[in-house]
Chain A
Amino acid sequence: MSAILEARAITKIYRMGEVDVHALRGVDASLYESEFMVLLGASGSGKSTLLNIMGGLDVPTMGRVFYGDMELTDADEDELTEFRRQSVGFVFQFYNLIPSLTARENVALVTEIADDPLEPAEALDLVGLGERLDHFPAQLSGGEQQRVAIARAVAKRPAVLLCDEPTGALDFKTGILVLEVIARVNRELGTTTAVITHNAPIASIADRVITLADGQVHSEVHNESKAQPEELRW
């Protein structure tokens, strides 16, 4: 299997006044075609930092990131925009929907600029929100907002779907629902998917689990058999 997204020797240092925070210390990580990867680690271990860098939303202090043949860490503004627009879908922990746009419009925001998108309604159907197309984010629950965010991320038919703690702010049942949606996208659309969590049980639904600790890769595990989200308990 070939790596679709590959991070090499990533170091990220945040300057906080006088002190340097080493968020990542020489991390190597890859995402392979069509896999479901979970990035596990305690809070503060550097998961978000790594995913943001791999998704072209942040730049590393040292190290390189490749998307296929393209080096993201060397791409210009236009290439990065094109990468974000066509190739990667991002789901943020805090949804980050545009509050003045309805669910459908938040998705349309992406479908209007992507090359070969789903219909917004289709994408929202996929996450089970076909009924709430015209609701504004403020009129949706947290889980619904997160599903809109997923619909928005997958509507462009991205090659890679990156999700940062998609269940972090949700209750158990809603969390399961959201994970089901992500697993279905991975399964049905074949979208390469990475999901961040600090919640170890969730790792069982992945093909592969990378565990970060203190800015370094602590372990990398291939699951022999994937669990289904609805089987999860935590």
Chain B
Amino acid sequence: MLSAIDKKLMRDVVRLKGQVLTIALVVAAGIASYVTMRSTWSSLETSRSSYYARYRFADVFATLKRAPDSIAHRIADIPGVAVVYPRIVRDVMLPIEGMPEPATGRLISIPAGRDIPLNGLYLRSGRMPEPRQDDEVLVIESFAKAHNLHPGDRIPAVINGKWRDLLIVGIALSPEYVFPASLGDFAPDDRRLAIMWMDRDVLGPAFQMEGAFNDISLHLQPGVSGQEVLGAVDRILEPYGGLGAVTSEKQVSNFILNGELSQLEQFATVFPFIFLSVAAFLLNVVLSRLINLQRQQIAVLKALGYSNRQIGLHYLQLVSIIVVLGALCGIAVGAWLGSGMTNMYGQWFRFPAQDYRLDFSVAAVSVMVSLVAGFAGALLAVRNVVRLPPAEAMRPPAPASYRVSLLDRLGLGRVLGQAAMMIVRELRRRPLRTIFSSLGIAAAVGILVVGRFGYDSFESLINTILHEEQRADVTVAFFEPIPASAAREIVHLPGVLDSEGGRAIPVRFRSGHRYRDSTIIALADQPELRRVVNRDARQVEIPADGLAISRKLGEILGVGVGDSIDIEIREGNRGTRRFAVATLVDDAFGLQGYMRMTSLHRVMGQESAVSMVYLRVDPAWLDEIHRRLKEMPEVAGVTRMDSIVKRMRDQMGQSMLMMTIILTLFGSTIAIGVVYNNARVALSMRSRDLASLRVLGFTRREISAVLLGELAVQILAALPIGLLLGTYWAHAVMESVDPEVYRMPIVISTQTYAFAVAVTVVSGIVSALLVRRKLDHLDLIAVLKTRE
């Protein structure tokens, strides 16, 4: 049998169902945001680490031009190195039929017939290549899927100038290519990058690399950090064209994966933090008000002999019901969305299996936060009542002491009308309540802004890239830098309207002991097709003879404008140059240096050479141009801006859109919950006053005007605060994620602001209508007869 006080609890829950549900929804939204993002992140993180561990992802990676196998033994002798795995890795052109843009094949040697010591392969289907079987390859799943290739199919490849038909014997995945991309290629194209594995005894002779390697991976002894061995590896490989060893953190796929995961982790921390704290704040405020409405019942319970503890417990149960209801919804929705998000990320993070797991601790933390917030609000309110002697608590709160204000003296009453005066007086009488209500609504508005601005930033980023930075239709990259004169052939292709050369040089930026391996991008003096722009779309002028670097790179190296950095050139004659940083570029992608091509060549003492050509072309000629480019042996790759943008939209855009939709949903839920509860509590608190006014002859319309006027004032005050709060949060979110891979601009569109305002105002109007209906049905006698 339920005790009487428990029955009261149940009936209160039923009676307050509108409020119970909306408060529970606010809690659910807060918890769901946490569970969704946190569980997505932790699932991906877990997938990654178990994948890496099981398939022995290497600790250090190095590439070089060519070294005899004996050099690998020298590297194995470096203290701390446990396993070395020298390989041959070569990029080749894949002239695939029906594909105007050529695809790149990356052939990687494996010891067929034996175990692969590091960077193991997960065989999705088919079999491993047989030892010494010509032309047998494994192909990475992403490429196979994009071209609908299966074991038994063949791919054409130009290997060392010879056309070969490679036989696909299996489809594989590798921890080294979770994110199959090359650095700087911010929207990789599955169709155009084929990672393939081939028996070393076949690959070696094909490239005249018998007994030699050009790529080496190391596994270190436990407790040894990659940084400790890099120097030794570099020293050994330097004479063999070493491009600088990197730890697994800088390995391209892992680097991108890390960037995405750490961004996700940051989002998963910052967004839910904002959402949960807003939900907690509202829970606190709303519950304390709800309980305040029961002030007299609390006093009666106390007078009847209920202890403070029993009364407190009674209201904690009410809070628990609301929070648990919200938490269950939140966890269920969060788990559902989380597994959806995890699957979505799975489309471009290639793990052998996509496991979604919901940590118990994730759910528990969010429920605890909500419970604590709710309990705090409830206990505070209960304490305020039980602290008083029951006789005092049972009396209605002392009649308000209205003071004659300046407004009255100015005779504003006559101007504004009686209802307006009452609104003003009420707001003045309870400034704290007004402030808390407005703050609550403002927080909801802010959440709407911060939930939606991600997409604005993304769109703005795309626009900046498309219209300000990468204005070429097509970018042609060469295997090696070629003399500017040699590129003329391309410039004069039919349909090319405009062209510009560019040069990318692999370098190591160094300042003291800090360094980063990256590239210097050298551009035309007065660039038109490939320009340097800040995230906010402003063009950056590269000074003659000056070096500009990414702002983020400056931060990493600890240098600012005017400071000097060393640049170790990792191409051609190599050598080190010292440059003063002339400008910092707040660019969106990667870490790099920028120079003018003329000054770069002067400094390097080289003839003018280009490694890229940017083209603006007549669309009608695009396919023809592609066809001609494919036939040129020096061309390593051709990228079309429109397909890059399309892929960015498909990838980043999709995750951003999904995130935005989810956050907007939660934000709207919170906003509606807050506005509605605020209105309902105001109605309950003031129904007596309003009923008295009705008895005094005020019309329904007039008393509605009083109450709804108060709500309107609170919402109006909340809007600007909320928009500011949202803007501030947006900055906080973006500043917390500052990855090296890409940095979004902080852009909040007018639509986002308008959306936040609209959702709030609409929920205000709907709540007002509901309250208005209740007011119209206000039972005057019932309300008034309850007390003296």
Contact = CB atoms under 8 A, between A and B. Distances in A.
Interface stretch (A96-104, A121-129, A189-197, A200-208): A96-104
Contacts of B4: 101, 105-106, 108-109, 112
A17 B394 contact: no
B97 interface: no
A183 B664 CA distance: 66
Nearest to A88: B305
Given A106-B4, A108-B4, A109-B4, A58 B304 contact: no
Nearest to B305: A85
A108 B304 CA distance: 11
Given A52-B391, A84-B305, A96 B300 contact: yes
B393 to A, nearest CB: 9
A110 B306 CA distance: 9
Contacts, number: 85
Contact of B304 (A93, A100, A152): A152
Given A57-B391, A100-B11, A101-B11, A85 B304 contact: yes
Q: Which of B7, B391, B394, B398 has the most CB of A within 10 A?
A: B391
Interface string B373-412: 0000000000000000111101000100100000000000
Given A100-B8, A100-B12, A59 B389 contact: yes
Contacts of A114: 305
How many residues of B sit at the interface, in one of the four size bands?
20 to 34
Contact of B8 (A77, A92, A101): A101
Contacts of A96: 296, 300, 303, 394
A93 B787 CA distance: 9
Interface string A26-64: 000000000000000000000010001001011100000
B389 A58 contact: yes
Contacts of B392: 58
A102 B604 CA distance: 94
B304 A94 contact: no
Contacts of A94: 786-788
A67 interface: no
Interface in B1-43: 3-5, 7-8, 11-12, 15
Contacts of B297: 98
Contacts of B11: 100-101
A113 B306 contact: yes
B302 interface: yes
A27 to B, nearest CB: 16
Nearest to A58: B391
Given A94-B788, A109-B5, A112-B4, A77 B308 contact: yes
Contacts of B310: 113
Interface in B108-122: none
B307 interface: yes
B782 interface: yes
A59 B391 CA distance: 9
Contact of A57 (B5, B8, B303): B303
Q: Which of B5, B303, B304, B394 has the most CB of A within 10 A?
A: B304
A66 interface: no
A86 interface: yes
Q: Which of A78, A83, A106, A109 has the most CB of B within 10 A?
A: A109
A76 B67 CA distance: 89
Q: Which of A78, A83, A113 has the most CB of B within 10 A?
A: A113
A166 to B, nearest CB: 15
B218 to A, nearest CB: 71
A93 B15 CA distance: 26
B308 A105 contact: no
A48 B788 CA distance: 14
Contacts of B300: 92, 96, 98
Given A108-B4, A109-B304, A100 B15 contact: yes
A86 B4 CA distance: 18
Interface string B285-311: 000000000001100111111111010
A81 interface: yes
Given A57-B391, A58-B392, A94-B786, A110 B12 contact: no
A88 B3 CA distance: 22
A62 B787 CA distance: 29
Q: Which of B300, B301, B305, B308 has the most CB of A within 10 A?
A: B305
A13 B390 CA distance: 17
Contacts of B305: 81-86, 110, 113-114, 156
B631 to A, nearest CB: 85
B302 to A, nearest CB: 7
B306 A81 contact: yes
Contacts of A138: 782
B568 to A, nearest CB: 76
A92 B787 CA distance: 11
B389 A110 contact: no
A49 to B, nearest CB: 8
A223 B8 CA distance: 44
Nearest to A87: B305
A105 B7 contact: yes
A108 B2 CA distance: 11
Contacts of A100: 7-8, 11-12, 15
Given A94-B788, A98-B297, A101-B7, A84 B401 contact: no
Contacts of B786: 94
B295 to A, nearest CB: 12
Nearest to A100: B11
Given A94-B788, A105-B4, A84 B391 contact: no
Contacts of A85: 304-306
A82 B390 CA distance: 14
A152 B301 CA distance: 12
Given A100-B8, A100-B12, A138-B782, A57 B304 contact: no
Contacts of B302: 81, 84
Nearest to A114: B305
A81 to B, nearest CB: 4
Contacts of A112: 3-5
Contacts of A17: 401
Nearest to A59: B389
A52 B303 CA distance: 10
Contacts of B787: 94
Contacts of B401: 17
Nearest to B306: A113
A29 to B, nearest CB: 16
A114 B306 CA distance: 10
Contacts of A152: 304
A167 to B, nearest CB: 15
A90 B392 CA distance: 15
Given A57-B391, A96-B296, A78 B307 contact: yes
Interface in B275-293: none
Nearest to B13: A100
Given A57-B391, A77-B308, A100-B15, A90 B7 contact: no
Contacts of B785: 142
A84 B303 contact: yes
Contacts of A57: 303, 389-391, 394
Nearest to A95: B786
A81 B307 contact: yes
A96 B786 CA distance: 8
A137 to B, nearest CB: 10
A59 to B, nearest CB: 5
Contacts of B306: 81, 85, 113
Nearest to B401: A17
Q: Which 3 A-B pairs have the closest CB atoms?
A: A85-B305, A58-B391, A52-B391
Given A96-B394, A109-B4, 7 more contacts: A57-B390, A57-B391, A57-B394, A59-B389, A83-B305, A84-B305, A85-B306
Interface of B: 3-5, 7-8, 11-12, 15, 296-297, 300-308, 310, 389-392, 394, 398, 401, 782, 785-788
11 contacts: A57-B389, A57-B394, A81-B305, A85-B305, A90-B303, A92-B394, A96-B300, A100-B12, A100-B15, A109-B8, A142-B785
